[in-house]
Amino acid sequence: MMKPTAIDTTDATDLGRIPESCGAVTVGCSEVAGVMEAVIRSSRALHAQHEALRGTVAALEADHTRVAEASDEARLLSERATDRLQEGTRLIQSSLGQINSLLELVDALGQHVTSFSAAMEQVKRSAKDIEDIAETTNILALNATIEAMRAGDAGRTFAVVASEVKSLASDTRRATDEIAVTLDALNEEAGVVIGRIEAGSKASDDARASVTRIETTIESVGELVEEVDRQNDVIARATGTISGHVSAVQKGLIHFDEVTRENEDKLFEAQQEATGLERIANEMFDTIVHAGLSPNDKVMAEHAMGVARQIIEATEAGIANGTITRGAVFDRDYRLIAGSAPERFTTRLTDFAAASWKPILNRSTDAVAESIATVCVDVNGFMPTHNDRYSQAPTGDIAHDTQYCRNGRILPEEAKDDGRDTTAPFRAYVFRYAPDGERYVVQRSIYVPLRFGGERWGSLKFAYSFGEAAGSSRAIRTGCAAP
């Protein structure tokens, strides 16, 4: 194991302030860019909400238009309903008058039938009297016949008269019997008619009550229609007021959208400027380290270059002895590890890197007290392996696995600052890093190109920190976590 590097800071105080100042400028620019980026994201989210609100207002306006149209239509329908109701009321009232007249006729008919029934009873009593008289007449005729027979020839004429009287009495009796039968039949029919009339009379009473209720209901319906008509007037006035408010809101939203877009453009320009200043500050920091004006950072750069040489030597030795092929080293066919979250990948380099590179990375990280991590990153941001701290077994906890299961991850931001556009032996870079998510420290990185057989594979990234504080967590820059 390498011994921790001792850093001689004698007479380096003034020089040390130069990279610290550059770092502070870089961090400040990074912070401003981060804040602006957050504001832009917030503005875009607000803009999206504004677009949704405009859609809602447009829908509200459309709904209001439909409500206004429906209100107008309702008023027309209400007016037509009122006219028809009035016409119907007149017809119903006329019909109710006819019904009342019919009910009065039913009552009169009941009275007449009752009187007819009483007359039938009187006729029946008269027929009974006639029957009694006929019976008496028949007895008298019988007695007269007997007396005529006793008188002999002198009573013969009287016998003829008595016979005729007896015959008349018999005819009268038969007639009274027929009258009685007929009266019984008529009386039975009259009873049925009277029962029906009485039922009809009761029904007529119910009908009168129903007629009264119908008249009351018609009056209530008329009042309701009039109330609906008044409410339609209120709705029409309200929709007119709403229309004015909706138009005002729509104009306000349009103005707000114009101002928001203008501010977004200005913020984007400012962010670009801050990003440019950050890049310039980092270029200054890199130049200072290369010039040896920052002894502490120069020591870290020399350490990183030494580790990179070990990685190159181990890889080229593996190619030479057939442990791995050149094609496998430069394999870009990233195969997703099923079920990994966040997503992790493997290539034909993975096993070799875990066996040959990982021990070197661990020794590098352990050898320097200020180190954070050492990792190899290809040109696409793929990390085939990592040191032990950041290549732990997945637990299923997304927060844990995101931070500590970084082997196999593809993080393009890890490759964007690796200095591929230069031929320098390394590139020094500084940015903010929040290890606990609350307080920032200044994290510095040394990127050393990794070339195998003269071909650029990617970079070795050595991250370290001298513990400089950089303020509270206000805007975390994407990709500024441990490598």
Using the predicted structure, report yes or no on whether residue 388 has a pLDDT greater than 60: yes
In this structure, what are the phi and psi dihedrals at residue 378, rounded to the nearest 5 degrees? -80, 180
Give the pLDDT band of residue 9 (cuts 50, 70, 90): very low
For residue 137, being part of any structural domain is answered with yes
Region 301-328: mean pLDDT is 97
- Averaged pLDDT for residues 69-88: 74
d(CA 40, CA 424): 35
Domain count, the chain: 2
Q: What is the pLDDT of residue 139?
A: 81
Q: Indicate whether 307 and 450 sit together in one domain.
A: yes
Domain finish residue from 240, 274, 291: 291
For residues 325 and 68, the model is more confident at 325
> What's the whole-number mean pLDDT along residues 189-210?
70
Q: What is the pLDDT of residue 237?
A: 74
Confidence check: pLDDT of 134 > 80: no
Q: Range of 184's domain?
A: 12-291
455 found inside a domain: yes
Candidate from 50-59, 392-401, 444-453 with smallest mean pLDDT: 50-59
Residue 198 belongs to a domain: yes
pLDDT averaged over the chain?
A: 78
Q: Helix, strand, or coil here: 236?
A: helix
Provide CB contacts within 8 A for 468, sequence distance 6+.
Answer: 20, 23, 441, 442
pLDDT category at 195 given cuts 50, 70, 90 is confident
Query: Locate tokens 């007119």: which residue?
Result: 240
Q: Is the pLDDT of residue 355 over 80?
A: yes
Could you give the C-alpha distances from 177 to 61, 128, 137, 182, 188, in angstroms and in order? 94, 9, 16, 9, 16
pLDDT in tens, 45-60: 777 777 787 777 777 7
Distance, CA of 279 to CA of 275 (rounded, Å): 6
Is there a single domain that holds both residue 188 and residue 308? no
Same structural domain for residues 299 and 192? no
- What is the pLDDT, as a whole number, of residue 474? 36
Tell me, yes or no, whether 399 lies in a domain: yes
Together in a domain, 319 and 282: no
Question: How many CA atoms lie less than 13 Å away from 244 in the CB half-sphere?
Answer: 5
Supply the CATH number for residue 139's domain.
1.10.287.950
Of the two residues 302 and 128, the one the predictor is more confident about is 302
Tell me the three-class secondary structure of 418-483, residue by residue: CCCCCCCCCEEEEEEECCCCCEEEEEEEEEEEEEECCEEEEEEEEEECCCCEEEECCCCCCCCCCC
d(Cα 404, Cα 202) in Å, to the nearest integer? 96
Provide the pLDDT for residue 259. Answer: 75
Last residue of a domain, one of 273, 291, 309: 291
> Which two three-digit tokens encode residue 241?
């007021």
DSSP labels for 131-161? HHHHHHHHHHHHHHHHHHHHHGGGGHHHHHH
